[in-house]
Amino acid sequence: PDLHGTPRSPWNQALANVFAQNFAASDLYEGEDLEFIKRLFFIHLNTLKRSYTRQNLETPEEKAAEQDRYQQSKRDSRRRNLFKRRKQACLNHPDLEKYAQVLANAGLFLMSGDESCGDGCSILKMSWRSQEVRLFLRDLDVVHLSSRYFNGKPQPGQWPNYRVEGARKDHLTRAPVGLPQNFYDPQWMREIGEDGQRILKMKPAMPLVVTKSVRE
């Protein structure tokens, strides 16, 4: 195939026609829809072209930039999944439902990011987030994990990444505004001063409790 030009270049169009005719005549396909076969051919060709482009970038800088984008995409995906799991843990228990909206308001910014390390991920520290919130979110992780067992047996499906405390700090994620006061780290609030605290538009502190009935 022509991986330098467009996916539907004249050469690739001709190749798609030949492939469709040969595939339809083989024992692998019982239908007669050549257009359907060609559509699948071009889908696969697009995948090949992206892979070829990644492997043949012209400069080391471009390769490094592509790798950075790929790693960032994976980090963003893990963060989104972490948010969804914790919010779902709240929605699954009446005693925790009141926290679901707070998590929704804060969104992904309340979730700590991470970096791949070995078989797991190293958690990036967020200086603005309080220890109380960090421990509460960890409790939600436990609640979610407990829901993945039935009669003491783990259920099928993708399980969360193994995460460990890291030493590196997250300097990119800004503190969301409008959260309860106890969501913000006291030392960090002293550092930003009264002007910074006014910008946060903090709400009254909210008790963060995972009740005994939820833990059982």
DSSP code string of 146-157: HTTEETTEEPSS
Whether the per-residue pLDDT at 16 is higher than 90: the answer is no
Q: Which of 128, 126, 124 lies closest to 182 in space, CA to CA? A: 128
User: CB-hemisphere CA count at 13 Å for 77?
Assistant: 9
**Per-residue CA distances from 123 to 16, 56, 155, 163 (Å):** 47, 33, 26, 6
| Domains of the chain by residue range | 10-56, 76-215
Residue 30's pLDDT band, with cuts at 50, 70 and 90, is low
**pLDDT recorded at residue 164:** 80
pLDDT digits (tens, 9 = 90+) for 176-186: 999 999 999 99
**Per-residue CA distances from 216 to 10, 53, 127, 147, 208 (Å):** 65, 52, 32, 11, 17
pTM given for the model: 0.66
Q: Which of 45, 35, 36, 33 lies closest to 8 in space, CA to CA? A: 45
Whether the per-residue pLDDT at 59 is higher than 90: the answer is no
Q: Cβ-count burial of 82 within 10 angstroms (0-12 exposed, 13-18 middle, 19+ buried)? A: buried
Mean of all residue pLDDT scores within the chain: 86
Separation of alpha carbons 36 and 20, rounded Å = 9
Separation of alpha carbons 190 and 192, rounded Å = 6
Q: What number of other Cβ atoms are within 10 A of residue 180's Cβ?
A: 18
Q: Roughly how many angstroms between the first and final C-alpha of the chain, as a whole number?
A: 59
**Per-residue CA distances from 96 to 93, 102, 145, 184 (Å):** 5, 11, 15, 20
H helices of the chain, where?
10-25, 34-55, 60-91, 97-106, 131-146, 186-200, 212-215
Report which of residues 171 and 130 the model is more confident about: 130
**pLDDT recorded at residue 134:** 94
**pLDDT recorded at residue 51:** 78
Task: Give residue 90's region: left, alpha or beta (phi > 0; psi -120 to 50).
Answer: alpha
**Local structure of 96: helix, strand or coil:** coil
Q: At what angle do helices 34-55 and 10-25 cross, to 10 degrees?
A: 130
